[in-house]
Chains A and B, each alone.
Chain A
Amino acid sequence: MALRIWASSTANALRLSSATRLHFSPLSRCFSSGNLHSYPSNSPSLCSFLKFRRQNRNLTYALVSIAVLDGLKYANSHEWVKHEGSVATIGITDHAQDHLGEVVFVELPDIGGSVTKANGFGAVESVKATSDVNSPISGEIVEVNTNLKETPGLINSSPYEAGWMIKVKPSNPSELEALMGPKEYTKFCEEEDGAH
């Protein structure tokens, strides 16, 4: 209910014409019921931004909420890194999974291999498109998420938690400093989406 009121006042603020109907995509419905992004109450705080996605040629727009988490670093190719001690976990962001569509296949590298900053380490398939996934940092792969083989959709339903892709021992921790923080990344996404 709160989400609906929020969306309605946003629509008023944006002065949408009466010809444009707002309704909720499955993404935001799940979000409000807590199924889609089920972050526990002690998890890093969540900032998010709203975007409109045109649903079809009849100019129906859905209000979609894209989540960006505090405590993570972000690459401009839409991957995130969570650095905890000597290990960094890597996955793709909510913005990325939203733009991909339903993920049906994930290709992951082998443990023991290495990743290099800004180079591909695997791929995901959605809507008959394979998209490379790039590593935001360099290092040695110490773990891969084998659950993604059976349940590739975890990348859509839980991009920051159950949908993690690889864990890496960073070889050059200063690379993390060069990445974007959550506010910067949110702005980056808004500019990228707004420019076109």
Chain B
Amino acid sequence: MRIPRNLEVWRLGTVNYLKALKLQEKLASDRKINKIPDTLLSLQHPPTYTLGKRRTDYNLLVPESELKNMGAELHYTQRGGDITFHGPHQAILYPIISLRDIGLGARKYVENLESTMTELSSLYGVKAHGQRKCETGVWVGDRKIGAIGVRISAGITSHGLAFNIDPDLTFFKHIVPCGIADKDVTSLRTETDLVLPDDEVIQEQLVSCFARLFGYNDIIWKDKNVIEIDG
């Protein structure tokens, strides 16, 4: 008999990038020793640029000091992928799950993250696709609507996906997003004719797509304040 699998989802609101990173590190080590079940963080960030393990800072087109003037932070991380931007009205999911428990390798895991975003897009009549060879992410035509950058350590995932609901796309002009120079970035607002509900509704739908694609039987929702967790 297959043991039912539950996903614990933490709705965190808007969280500073470093606070979210520290939280993920703690949860990942808890998950490794089975202290917690598979956990998914659902949140947004204030304006933040991030780089991956390869430290491709040549794709940052303005000096770091100018980012501060814009009210944005810059962080170097251990995730895969190139430079990207996170900001308000971009839905972020950070799954802290055991890939070994569900028998997934990196490639299949990332494909499922792409499918999560393409399914969400289709709810709003937007035909998005992933699984583009050499260009991981989710695209509407030649325009990128969702990005992925993941870390897998001891079989436990951290970081995850970022889906553009309606972020300020001008922030992307200051980088070569994901290292891809000749393609545009887009958002759900730009691509759909439908009136969008509040971000919280869309974020919940994104979580539901994730849970369905990864075969979870139940979602346990928790609303958390990160500052409380720190203390």
Contacts and interface: CB of A to CB of B under 8 A. Distances in A.
Interface residues of B, number: 28
Interface stretch (A7-15, A80-88, A118-126): A118-126
Given A77-B155, A125-B80, A128-B148, A99 B106 contact: yes
Of A126, A128, A131, most B-chain CB atoms within 10 Å: A128
Contacts of A99: 104-108
A150 B53 CA distance: 16
A194 to B, nearest CB: 9
B208 interface: no
Contact of A128 (B81, B103, B153, B154): B81
At the interface, is chain B mostly helix, strand, loop or mixed?
Answer: loop
Name A's interface SS: mixed
Contact of A130 (B80, B105, B136, B137): B80
B52 interface: yes
B102 interface: yes
Given A130-B79, A130-B80, A100 B106 contact: yes
Interface of B: 52-54, 78-81, 102-110, 131, 134, 136-137, 148-155
Nearest to B148: A128
B136 A128 contact: yes
Nearest to A57: B115
B149 A196 contact: no
A177 interface: no
Contacts of B54: 105, 125
A126 B80 contact: yes
Given A128-B148, A129-B151, A196 B103 contact: yes
Nearest to B103: A196
Contacts of A196: 102-104
Nearest to B78: A130
Given A125-B54, A127-B107, A130-B80, A102 B153 contact: no
A1 interface: no
A34 B27 CA distance: 45
Contact of B106 (A77, A105, A129, A193): A129
A52 to B, nearest CB: 13
B106 A101 contact: yes
Most chain A beta-carbon contacts within 10 A, residue among B106, B131, B150: B106
Interface string A125-154: 111111110100000000000000000000
A132 B28 CA distance: 14
Contacts of A132: 152-154
Interface in A46-69: 56
Interface in A87-109: 96, 98-102, 105, 107
B102 to A, nearest CB: 6
